[in-house]
């Protein structure tokens, strides 16, 4: 199969992560990159262009990876789709769900593939949980609790993420969006939202804490989210309790190692006393992170096979942004 030609717009941390994943896949050629601040190092192997349009309007390029600050995601996605390119875009897809609907309209007209970087769905621990839940071995999901937090230092003030006009929001759009995406994957749609959004510590015009409760009125499933930038140490925790047992994931394997080891605990219901014993719990450690390569391979698969996107599609992006709108108090 012929390798696809890829252009990367934005070559900061995420652009470099995507570049590495593309190279590891062995299924793509990085044709050229654009980085506003210039290439990150001397002697880059890839062609560096001076204008975004040199990528979007290049007929030799099949797909564009958009790895830019949030405020550029919507406009560049629309521009690339309209130019006949397949598009992979980092989250968030836009600032509001109505903006995502604008993108979807262009996507449908273009006939091209559009995938968003909801990377957490590709972690092996999450895939394991999804497989078990889909098997119904543990019954139906009853409730979920997600905590996702990190520490930010003074350097954060100098980044685009600290400016609402560039980021669109704070910790909810930065990290909480991933947990909401997982809630939707495991619990279906949530139509009821109660939330407290605040800037308890940093006093910026973006939130540093969100406490929210989401309910699926059809199934009764309730999910609790705490998304925080005052955790003081990075933390990821997702707990799913079902009719016949539970699954608890603590830690997330990342290149930085800041979220600790990725450990999944699984157990069936304890119906006899003492309920506090732990001997029947299965503990699985996930020591490698293959999520980036998995995600890239998934994107290339749908291009080569002209198949529909199952993970990270625009409908899922719209659903998560509708929850974001409701959390921020903008009912849709």
Domain CATH code at residue 213: 3.30.360.10
Same domain, yes or no: 93 and 210? no
Extract the tokens encoding 150.
Answer: 């990190």
CA angle, residues 219, 116, 236, in degrees to nearest 5: 65
Q: Is 273 domain-assigned?
A: yes
Q: Are residues 98 and 180 in the same domain?
A: no
224: β partners: 145, 213
> Is 316 part of any domain?
no
Does any domain span residue 317? no
Enter the pTM of the model: 0.95
Which residues are bridge partners to 197 per DSSP?
Answer: 210
Kindly list the strands in the beta sheet with 262-268, ordered across the sheet, starting from the edge strand earlier in the chain.
Answer: 192-198, 209-215, 222-228, 141-151, 230-242, 245-250, 262-268, 282-286
Burial class (CB in 10 A: 0-12, 13-18, 19+), 154: exposed
DSSP code of 57? Answer: T
For residue 325, is it within any domain? no
Same domain, 267 and 163: yes
Domain residues for 206? 124-252+254-287
Q: What is the CATH number of the domain that holds 74?
A: 3.40.50.720
Is residue 31 domain-shared with residue 53, that is, in the same domain?
yes
Q: Are residues 281 and 179 in the same domain?
A: yes
- Tell how far CA 226 is from the center of its chain: 16
Q: Are residues 143 and 77 in the same domain?
A: no
Please indicate, yes or no, if residue 70 is contained in any of the structural domains.
yes
Task: Indicate if 46 and 172 belong to the same structural domain.
Answer: no
DSSP annotation of 155:
G
Are residues 128 and 109 part of one domain? no
Q: What is the largest CA-CA distance in the chain?
A: 68
pLDDT in tens, the chain (332 residues): 689 999 999 999 999 999 999 999 999 999 999 998 876 654 566 789 999 999 999 999 999 999 999 999 999 999 999 999 999 999 999 999 999 999 999 999 999 999 999 999 999 999 999 999 999 999 999 999 999 999 888 888 899 999 999 999 999 999 999 999 999 999 999 999 999 999 989 999 999 999 999 999 999 999 999 999 999 999 999 999 999 999 999 999 988 889 999 999 999 887 666 665 667 789 999 999 999 999 999 999 999 999 999 999 999 999 999 999 999 996 54
Same structural domain for residues 102 and 139? no
Indicate whether 154 and 274 sit together in one domain. yes
Residue with tokens 């600032």: 95
Does one domain contain both 53 and 202?
A: no
* 138 and 248 part of one domain: yes
Looking at the 3D structure of the chain, how many domains does it have?
2
């Amino acid at each position: 199969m012929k390798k696809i030609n890829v252009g990367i717009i934005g070559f900061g941390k995420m652009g470099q992560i995507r570049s590495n994943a593309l190279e590891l896949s062995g299924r793509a050629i990085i044709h050229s990159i654009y980085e506003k601040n210039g290439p990150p190092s001397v002697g880059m192997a890839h062609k560096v262009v001076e204008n975004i349009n040199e990528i979007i309007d290049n007929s030799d390029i099949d797909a564009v990876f958009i790895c830019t600050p949030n405020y550029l995601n919507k406009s560049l996605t629309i521009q690339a789709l309209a130019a006949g390119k397949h598009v992979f875009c980092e989250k968030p897809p836009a600032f509001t769900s109505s903006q995502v609907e604008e993108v979807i309209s262009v996507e449908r007209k273009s006939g091209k593939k559009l995938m968003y970087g909801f990377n957490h769905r590709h972690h092996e621990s999450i895939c394991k949980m999804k497989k078990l839940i889909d098997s119904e071995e543990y019954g139906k999901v009853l409730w979920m609790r997600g905590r996702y937090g990190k520490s930010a230092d003074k350097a954060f003030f100098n980044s685009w993420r600290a400016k609402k006009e560039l980021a669109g929001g704070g910790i909810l759009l930065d990290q909480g969006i991933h947990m909401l995406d997982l809630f939707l994957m495991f619990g279906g749609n949530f139509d009821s939202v109660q939330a407290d959004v605040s800037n308890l510590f940093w006093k910026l015009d973006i939130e540093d804490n969100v406490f929210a409760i989401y309910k699926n009125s059809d199934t009764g499933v309730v999910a609790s989210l705490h998304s925080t930038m005052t955790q003081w140490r990075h933390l990821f925790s997702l707990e799913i309790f079902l009719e016949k047992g539970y699954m608890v994931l603590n830690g997330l394997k990342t290149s930085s190692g800041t979220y600790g080891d990725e450990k999944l605990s699984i157990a069936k219901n304890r119906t006899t006393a003492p309920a506090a014993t732990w001997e029947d719990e299965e503990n699985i450690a996930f020591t490698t992170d293959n999520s980036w390569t998995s995600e890239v391979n998934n994107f290339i698969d749908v291009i080569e096979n002209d198949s529909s996107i199952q993970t990270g599609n625009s409908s899922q992006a719209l659903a998560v942004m509708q929850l974001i709108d409701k959390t921020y108090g903008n009912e849709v």
